[in-house]
Structure 1
Amino acid sequence: MKKRAFLKLSSTLMAAPILSPLADLAAPEKLKNWAGNLQYSTDRLYEGKSIEQVRDFVKKYNKLKVLGTRHCFNSIADSKDNLLSLKAMDDVISLDTKAHTVTVDASMKYGQLAPYLDKKGFALHNLASLPHISIAGACATATHGSGVKNGNLSTAVSGMEIVTAAGDVRTLSRAKDGDTFNAAVVHLGALGVVTKVTLDVQPTFMMRQDVYENLPMAQLKEHFDAIVSGGYSVSLFTDWQKSRVNEVWIKRRIDKGVKLDAKPEYYGATLAKKNLHPIAELSAVNCTEQMGVPGPWYERMPHFRMGFTPSSGKELQSEYFVPRKNAVEAILAVERLKAHISPHLMISELRTIDADKLWMSPCYKQPSLAIHFTWKQDWASVKKVLPMIEKELAPFHARPHWGKLFTMTPVQLQSRYEKLPAFKQLVTEYDPKGKFRNDFLNTTIYGI
């Protein structure tokens, strides 16, 4: 999905006294997100190393936001006042082998957790294309992988610990808290500071990955469900040109006693003869192993290797979720805009995600297709194309990814979340004075 391999995670947070601003200790560069398209509105970045320090910080300041691995393309994590990093809080707290759960510090990254789980004989149900993102941040924005039977990453959350605006510590669980839990998991940073997350795990498993090239778009019209159900996780990459999907990435579980092979064709697409990058002209050196080579789940489900160090790359991203029942219509609607899209596009990815019960998830109560766009870093041009895409997808009540770029009005956005009024009531309970609100939340959640 990336035109370049990824921006080097820009800062190694230096050891500092409690609540000492990290920006004062580092080079006087302006804080930016990993892609460099967003400059944060304050340089006051503080570090919390324990739950006690987090509570003290929250009590001390009237306005703040938590800043994670900076992988959002919009201002959802921005603050004009104070930013809090939990980077130092990234340990595994406990693995419950009987309950099949693992509890971690919220700042832990999937790339850290996955090898640990695998060594203990466990796995997560899914991973995103990039393993360098934090668990808490990914769950807060309903980030996802792929698979018709796989919910987004947030659906693995079975418990969480959160520091509210008053500095109180609350714990929530799927088993005990019902609707409150379903409201809080995809919280958009509005409820407080998440300090611990408990995730469901399952027995570890092996996978293989096979890639096919040049799937005729006409095949999607006739066989969409079969194509996206051809593996545990399936991704379709297209530049919307030549009436074809450029690449089909099929990730399949290897179960004992079941022999898997790769047929030379897949609905008219041909089996690749070498490892490929999602953008075919780029080197696949940092992509996960393909060609049917068996490997552990965490080395096949992401598109990019966990072991490589992210490096510089400039891009923008947008993504829209539509009901899976409307997938073909939505794909064809976007394809009609190819003359407007292609000059600014690096690649698009089409993925399926199962329905969930999480109030602010784009997949709430609907199995979905996610239509993703990786753009050249030219916001002036992209900003003109997004309204066209959103207009074409409007009949399907498309919901944008919370952490990516979109231009929908607050009225449009809010009309697509039936539980939004109830979510706002919960926000008022956890944060009555708006300590965690910022311009993004004021616009998207409250801006009517």
Structure 2
Amino acid sequence: MKRKTFIKTTAAFAAVTAINPLASCKMEKAKMSEDLPLDPIRKNWAGNYTYKAEKLHVPKTAEEVQKLVKELGAQKALGSKHCFNNIADSPLNQISTENLKGVLELDEENMTVTVGAGAKYGDFAPELHDKGYALHNLASLPHISVAGACATGTHGSGVKNGNLATGVAAIELVNGMGELITLKRGHEAFDGAIVNLGALGIITKMTLDIQKTFEVRQDVFQELPLESLQENFEEILSGGYSVSLFTDWQDQKISQVWVKRRTDEEVKDLGDTYFGAKAATRNLHPITELSAENCTGQMGVPGPWYDRLPHFKMGFAPSSGEELQSEFFVPTEQALDAILTLEKKRDLISPQLMITEIRTIAADDYWMSPCYQQDCVAIHFTWKQNPEEVGALIKMIEAELEPFNYRPHWGKLFTISREKLASRYSKFNGFLALAKQHDPEGKFKNDYLNTNIYS
């Protein structure tokens, strides 16, 4: 095959003071200009956070990003706006990666694909599949940008699958001096630069590992007894290439079990039950009461990896819309105890909860990854948009998870102190030094980093 086959280049709580604010995104387009102030009510996806940056810049090339970084003072990269805090906000300027997108290069010899930093997984995945290739995994939403997802340690599921950042082979970024630099796997700073929280610069493109394309069948089961989860925890979560548990913490049951299995591996019929859970008789939304129209295909019908590994279809609004989210990672060997600890608080959690999802993520070596050198189980909460009540619950949940040395998802709502965060990341000081090296003037600092990373 040709070493470098060119495909195409695409041009072009609000709220809870105790909780770190959010950085997600509305699906509708905001007014964007390099010269005009932003619409004062411009919000993130979920609508719970209003951006405070005075100006939004939308460069079309890496060279334009360099020029902006050199000329501007306080600034921050802005991706698809799917975080739930102020990680992507700035007191002065946001630099959108919206126009830095598309597939730039497919290297079939080295099995990589290079895409613009603002590319959304769901936009280029079908094209990659059509060329005969796939990524190792996807998150529950394909609507998120590559750079933003990797910078925050976003993940899918699977006991052998690392988070999305583990699929990165190289990044190109503009640092605080306006220099365009490339870091490749094996480079001294690479492991510190991938899950970077936006502290090192503006990512302009990313090179991702690829593999031969594959299909996935998705089988869904309902009402898994909690007792069965206790007895078969590892077997249940390792029963597919990717497995997700959904629970509303009621009736001593896991509401749904989503088992995603590759069809190029040995796939047997799971039958009508899965460790005591009953096979669904129709497609389901994770929140059972909602329509499954937005969800990827189930009922064991095989489909391309990009249309089965996520829970939601690219062409539809993801999740439930108006919501808040928090997520906590605990070591796999302690995960069952952590789940049972939270189950005792079900009567407090349930009134404000839409759904909880439980997933597995393999360990990695990225300094600021929640899965740094430990296999993890992530306990994810989708909340009703009641900031005050949810804020109190998040504090309570963090207190309950304290014995398990949890790490929060960087892009969602949490209250843990900087001191505790620093104690749970052995390379924390190394990351501080790396950020200082690439941003000596502190151009990329913002309230989020000042609260959670810098003293």
| Same fold flag (TM > 0.5) | yes
Q: Name the counterpart of 1:102.
A: 113
Instruction: Report which stretch shifted further, 327-336 or 29-38.
Output: 29-38
Secondary structure at the aligned position of 2:250 is classed as coil
Q: CA offset at residue 43 of structure 1? A: 3.9
Is the 1:164–1:170 contact (alpha carbons within 8 Å) kept by the matching residues of 2?
A: yes
Q: CA RMSD in A?
A: 1.5
1:440 and 2:448 equivalent?
yes
Q: 5+ unaligned residues in a row in structure 1: which ranges?
A: 1-5
Q: Does 1:375 align with 2:383?
A: yes
Which of the residues 54, 61, 69 maps onto 1:50? 61
- Residue 245 of structure 1 and its aligned partner are, at CA, apart by 0.2
Aligned to 2:81: 70
Query: Where do residues 176-325 of structure 1 align in structure 2 (5 Å cutoff)?
Result: 177-178=187-188, 180-255=189-264, 258-309=266-317, 313-325=321-333
Residues 18-33 of structure 1: pairs in structure 2 closer than 5 A? 19-21=34-36, 23=38, 28-33=39-44
Count of paired positions = 432
Shift of residue 22 of structure 1?
7.6
In structure 2, distance between residues paired with 1:396 and 1:311: 28
| Runs of 5+ unmatched residues, structure 2 | 1-23
1:341-378 Cα shifts (integer Å, max 9, x gaps):
11110000000000000000000000000000000001
* Cα distance in 2 for residues equivalent to 1:387 and 1:446: 22
Q: Does the 8 Å contact 1:8/1:311 carry over to 2?
A: no
Percentage of pairs with the same residue: 55
Bigger CA drift: 236-245 or 308-317? 308-317
SS of equivalent to 2:64: helix
Report deviation, 1:8: 4.9
Q: Secondary structure at the match of 1:198?
A: strand
Is the CA contact 2:353–2:382 (under 8 Å) kept in the aligned structure 1?
Answer: yes
CA gap of 1:44–1:12, structure 2 versus 1, over 3 A, is: closer
2: CA distance between counterparts of 1:259 and 1:109? 30
Compute the displacement of 1:260 (Å): 3.1
Please give the TM-score of this superposition, normalised by the length of structure 1: 0.94
Does the CA contact (< 8 Å) of 1:20 and 1:47 recur in 2? Answer: no
Structure 1 residue 12, shift from structure 2 partner: 6.0
TM (normalized to structure 2)? 0.92
Displacement after TM superposition at 1:11 (Å): 0.9
Correspondence for 2:360: 352
Residues 200-254 of structure 1 deviation map (CA, whole Å, 9 limit, x = unaligned):
0000001100000000111121110000000000000001111110000000000
Q: Which residue matches 2:122?
A: 111
Distance in 2 separating the partners of 1:235 and 1:69: 24
Q: After superposition, what is the alpha-carbon deviation per residue over 1:301-320, rounded to whole angstroms, capped at 9, x for unaligned?
A: 00001222559821000000
Aligned to 1:9: 27
Is the 8 Å Cα contact of residues 217 and 243 (structure 1) preserved in structure 2?
yes
In the TM superposition, what whole-angstrom CA distance separates every residue of 1:64-102 from its partner, at most 9, and x where no partner exists? 001111101111111111111121111211000010000
CA contact (8 A) 2:363 2:375 kept: yes
Structure 1 residues 43 and 34, CA gap change in structure 2 (3 angstroms): farther
Partner of 1:139: 150
Inter-CA distance 259–323: structure 2 relative to 1 (3 Å threshold): closer
* Matching residue's letter, 1:198: T
Q: Structure 1's 191 and 334: CA in aligned 2 closer, same or farther, altered over 3 A?
A: same
CA contact (8 A) 2:26 2:47 kept: no
Matched, 1:361 2:369: yes
Relative distance call for 1:259 and 1:347 in structure 2 (3 A) is: closer
Letter of the aligned partner of 2:148 in structure 1? G
CA 402–46 in structure 1, closer or farther in 2 if over 3 Å, else same? same
Question: 1 CA distance for matches of 2:55 and 2:49?
Answer: 16
Alignment CA distance shift 1:208-1:228 (3 Å): same
1:405-443: per-residue Cα shift (whole Å, max 9, x none)?
A: 011111112211110000000011000111000011001
Q: CA deviation at 1:390?
A: 0.7
Contact 1:209 1:293 in 2 (8 A): yes
Counterpart of 1:3 in structure 2 is none
Hey, what's the Cα distance between the residues in 1 that align with 2:385 and 2:185?
Answer: 40
Instruction: Give the letter for the 2:339 counterpart.
Output: I
Write the letter of the residue equivalent to 1:430: H
